[in-house]
Copies of this chain bind each other. A is one copy, B any other.
Amino acid sequence: MQQLFEQIGNYHRLSPEAAEAVSLGFERITLPKNECLVTEGKVCRHLYFLEKGALRGYYQEDGKEITHWFGFENDFVTSFHSFITGQPSVENIQLLEGSILWGIAKERLNELLNQYHEIERLVRIAYEKYYIRLEERFVNAHFKTATDRYEDLLEHAPHIVERVPLGYIASYLGISPETLSRVRGRL
Protein backbone atom coordinates (compact mmCIF):
# COMPACT_ATOMS: atom_id res chain seq x y z
CA MET A 1 0.00 0.00 0.00
CA GLN A 2 3.00 2.26 0.52
CA GLN A 3 3.65 2.11 -3.20
CA LEU A 4 0.09 3.26 -3.85
CA PHE A 5 0.62 6.31 -1.65
CA GLU A 6 3.92 7.10 -3.29
CA GLN A 7 2.16 7.12 -6.63
CA ILE A 8 -0.71 9.18 -5.27
CA GLY A 9 1.88 11.60 -3.91
CA ASN A 10 3.13 12.09 -7.47
CA TYR A 11 -0.27 13.45 -8.41
CA HIS A 12 -1.39 15.41 -5.37
CA ARG A 13 -0.44 15.41 -1.71
CA LEU A 14 -3.24 14.37 0.59
CA SER A 15 -3.87 15.41 4.17
CA PRO A 16 -3.50 12.64 6.80
CA GLU A 17 -7.28 12.28 7.15
CA ALA A 18 -7.80 11.98 3.39
CA ALA A 19 -4.90 9.53 3.13
CA GLU A 20 -6.39 7.47 5.94
CA ALA A 21 -9.78 7.43 4.22
CA VAL A 22 -8.18 6.38 0.93
CA SER A 23 -6.24 3.56 2.57
CA LEU A 24 -9.45 2.19 4.09
CA GLY A 25 -11.08 2.18 0.67
CA PHE A 26 -8.57 -0.07 -1.07
CA GLU A 27 -8.36 -3.85 -0.81
CA ARG A 28 -5.42 -6.04 -1.70
CA ILE A 29 -5.90 -8.50 -4.55
CA THR A 30 -3.51 -11.23 -5.63
CA LEU A 31 -4.09 -12.93 -8.98
CA PRO A 32 -2.15 -15.54 -10.96
CA LYS A 33 -0.97 -15.25 -14.56
CA ASN A 34 -3.68 -15.59 -17.22
CA GLU A 35 -6.48 -14.74 -14.80
CA CYS A 36 -8.86 -12.00 -15.94
CA LEU A 37 -9.45 -8.93 -13.78
CA VAL A 38 -12.23 -7.65 -16.02
CA THR A 39 -14.35 -9.57 -18.50
CA GLU A 40 -16.36 -8.26 -21.42
CA GLY A 41 -20.07 -8.02 -20.99
CA LYS A 42 -19.92 -7.01 -17.36
CA VAL A 43 -19.95 -3.54 -15.89
CA CYS A 44 -16.61 -2.70 -14.33
CA ARG A 45 -17.13 -1.06 -10.94
CA HIS A 46 -13.60 -1.09 -9.57
CA LEU A 47 -10.48 0.94 -10.09
CA TYR A 48 -7.20 -0.86 -9.47
CA PHE A 49 -3.67 0.11 -8.64
CA LEU A 50 -1.07 -2.34 -9.92
CA GLU A 51 1.59 -2.79 -7.26
CA LYS A 52 3.41 -5.67 -8.88
CA GLY A 53 2.95 -7.52 -12.19
CA ALA A 54 1.80 -6.85 -15.72
CA LEU A 55 -1.47 -7.06 -17.59
CA ARG A 56 -3.09 -6.30 -20.92
CA GLY A 57 -6.41 -4.92 -22.05
CA TYR A 58 -7.91 -6.60 -25.10
CA TYR A 59 -11.16 -6.90 -26.99
CA GLN A 60 -12.53 -9.26 -29.60
CA GLU A 61 -12.94 -8.21 -33.20
CA ASP A 62 -13.75 -10.54 -36.07
CA GLY A 63 -12.83 -13.51 -33.94
CA LYS A 64 -9.45 -12.04 -33.08
CA GLU A 65 -8.12 -10.72 -29.80
CA ILE A 66 -6.89 -7.16 -30.16
CA THR A 67 -4.58 -6.02 -27.39
CA HIS A 68 -4.70 -2.26 -27.12
CA TRP A 69 -2.95 -1.44 -23.85
CA PHE A 70 -0.65 -2.81 -21.19
CA GLY A 71 -0.35 -2.00 -17.52
CA PHE A 72 2.70 -2.28 -15.31
CA GLU A 73 3.72 -1.39 -11.76
CA ASN A 74 2.32 1.89 -10.46
CA ASP A 75 -0.39 2.14 -13.09
CA PHE A 76 -4.02 2.74 -12.25
CA VAL A 77 -5.98 0.32 -14.36
CA THR A 78 -9.57 -0.43 -15.10
CA SER A 79 -11.88 -0.73 -18.06
CA PHE A 80 -12.17 3.04 -18.14
CA HIS A 81 -15.06 3.11 -20.56
CA SER A 82 -17.17 0.81 -18.44
CA PHE A 83 -16.03 2.31 -15.14
CA ILE A 84 -16.95 5.82 -16.26
CA THR A 85 -20.14 5.13 -18.21
CA GLY A 86 -21.50 2.25 -16.16
CA GLN A 87 -22.06 0.26 -19.35
CA PRO A 88 -20.86 -3.33 -19.81
CA SER A 89 -17.20 -3.52 -20.75
CA VAL A 90 -16.22 -4.44 -24.28
CA GLU A 91 -12.72 -5.28 -23.20
CA ASN A 92 -11.06 -7.85 -20.98
CA ILE A 93 -8.13 -7.26 -18.68
CA GLN A 94 -5.85 -10.26 -18.34
CA LEU A 95 -2.86 -10.74 -16.08
CA LEU A 96 0.37 -11.43 -17.95
CA GLU A 97 2.16 -12.32 -14.75
CA GLY A 98 1.16 -13.22 -11.24
CA SER A 99 0.23 -9.82 -9.82
CA ILE A 100 -0.62 -7.80 -6.74
CA LEU A 101 -3.21 -5.08 -7.09
CA TRP A 102 -5.17 -2.78 -4.81
CA GLY A 103 -8.79 -2.21 -5.80
CA ILE A 104 -11.41 0.28 -4.75
CA ALA A 105 -15.08 0.08 -5.53
CA LYS A 106 -16.54 2.94 -7.56
CA GLU A 107 -19.19 3.45 -4.88
CA ARG A 108 -16.54 3.87 -2.23
CA LEU A 109 -14.51 6.15 -4.46
CA ASN A 110 -17.59 8.30 -5.05
CA GLU A 111 -18.06 8.65 -1.31
CA LEU A 112 -14.48 9.82 -0.98
CA LEU A 113 -14.94 12.27 -3.86
CA ASN A 114 -18.00 13.67 -2.14
CA GLN A 115 -16.27 14.03 1.19
CA TYR A 116 -12.90 15.40 0.15
CA HIS A 117 -12.25 18.17 -2.35
CA GLU A 118 -8.58 17.15 -2.27
CA ILE A 119 -9.42 13.63 -3.41
CA GLU A 120 -11.50 15.06 -6.25
CA ARG A 121 -8.44 17.10 -7.20
CA LEU A 122 -6.20 14.07 -7.03
CA VAL A 123 -8.46 12.17 -9.40
CA ARG A 124 -8.79 15.13 -11.78
CA ILE A 125 -5.01 15.47 -11.97
CA ALA A 126 -4.69 11.72 -12.54
CA TYR A 127 -7.16 11.95 -15.43
CA GLU A 128 -5.24 14.88 -16.91
CA LYS A 129 -2.05 12.85 -16.90
CA TYR A 130 -3.75 9.76 -18.30
CA TYR A 131 -5.37 11.85 -21.02
CA ILE A 132 -2.13 13.33 -22.27
CA ARG A 133 -0.40 9.96 -22.01
CA LEU A 134 -3.04 8.50 -24.29
CA GLU A 135 -2.80 11.48 -26.62
CA GLU A 136 0.97 11.09 -26.83
CA ARG A 137 0.58 7.44 -27.61
CA PHE A 138 -1.96 8.18 -30.32
CA VAL A 139 0.23 10.84 -31.92
CA ASN A 140 3.23 8.54 -31.75
CA ALA A 141 1.35 5.89 -33.71
CA HIS A 142 -0.23 8.20 -36.26
CA PHE A 143 1.20 7.81 -39.77
CA LYS A 144 3.91 5.45 -38.62
CA THR A 145 5.29 2.43 -40.45
CA ALA A 146 5.57 -0.86 -38.65
CA THR A 147 9.29 -0.29 -38.24
CA ASP A 148 8.76 3.19 -36.79
CA ARG A 149 6.28 1.85 -34.27
CA TYR A 150 8.53 -0.93 -33.07
CA GLU A 151 11.52 1.38 -32.86
CA ASP A 152 9.46 3.91 -30.87
CA LEU A 153 8.46 1.13 -28.53
CA LEU A 154 12.07 0.05 -28.02
CA GLU A 155 13.02 3.62 -27.31
CA HIS A 156 10.17 4.67 -25.03
CA ALA A 157 9.06 1.42 -23.42
CA PRO A 158 11.71 -1.28 -23.73
CA HIS A 159 10.29 -3.01 -20.65
CA ILE A 160 7.27 -4.03 -22.70
CA VAL A 161 9.45 -6.07 -25.06
CA GLU A 162 11.08 -7.75 -22.08
CA ARG A 163 7.90 -8.80 -20.36
CA VAL A 164 5.19 -9.24 -22.98
CA PRO A 165 4.80 -12.00 -25.62
CA LEU A 166 5.53 -10.76 -29.13
CA GLY A 167 2.09 -11.70 -30.38
CA TYR A 168 0.49 -9.27 -27.95
CA ILE A 169 3.05 -6.62 -28.83
CA ALA A 170 2.28 -6.98 -32.54
CA SER A 171 -1.40 -6.58 -31.74
CA TYR A 172 -0.71 -3.53 -29.56
CA LEU A 173 1.28 -1.95 -32.38
CA GLY A 174 -1.48 -2.65 -34.88
CA ILE A 175 0.58 -4.95 -37.10
CA SER A 176 0.58 -8.68 -37.77
CA PRO A 177 2.92 -11.02 -35.87
CA GLU A 178 4.65 -11.93 -39.13
CA THR A 179 5.34 -8.29 -39.90
CA LEU A 180 6.73 -7.73 -36.39
CA SER A 181 8.98 -10.71 -36.84
CA ARG A 182 10.30 -9.32 -40.13
CA VAL A 183 10.83 -5.89 -38.62
CA ARG A 184 12.77 -7.42 -35.74
CA GLY A 185 14.83 -9.39 -38.20
CA ARG A 186 15.85 -6.21 -39.99
CA LEU A 187 17.00 -4.39 -36.87
| Chain A contact residue count (CB 8 A cutoff) | 30
B132 touches A85 (CB 8 A): yes
User: Which B residues touch A84, using CB under 8 A?
Assistant: 128-129, 131-132
The SS class assigned to the A binding surface is helix
A68 touches B124 (CB 8 A): no
A81 touches B121 (CB 8 A): no
CA distance A123 to B127 in the complex (A): 10
> In this complex, what residue of B is CB-closest to A142?
B174
User: Which B residues touch A66, using CB under 8 A?
Assistant: 142-143
Identical subunits present: 2
Contact of A128 among B127, B129, B143 (CB under 8 A): B127
Residue A134 at the B interface, CB < 8 A? Answer: yes
Contact flags (1/0) for A133-176 with B, using CB distance below 8 Å? Answer: 01111110011000000000000000000000000000100100
CA distance A171 to B121 in the complex (A): 36
> In this complex, what residue of B is CB-closest to A139?
B68
CA distance A59 to B127 in the complex (A): 23
Question: What are 12 A-B pairs with beta-carbon distances under 8 A?
Answer: A59-B139, A66-B143, A68-B138, A68-B139, A113-B121, A120-B120, A120-B121, A127-B128, A127-B131, A131-B134, A134-B135, A137-B138
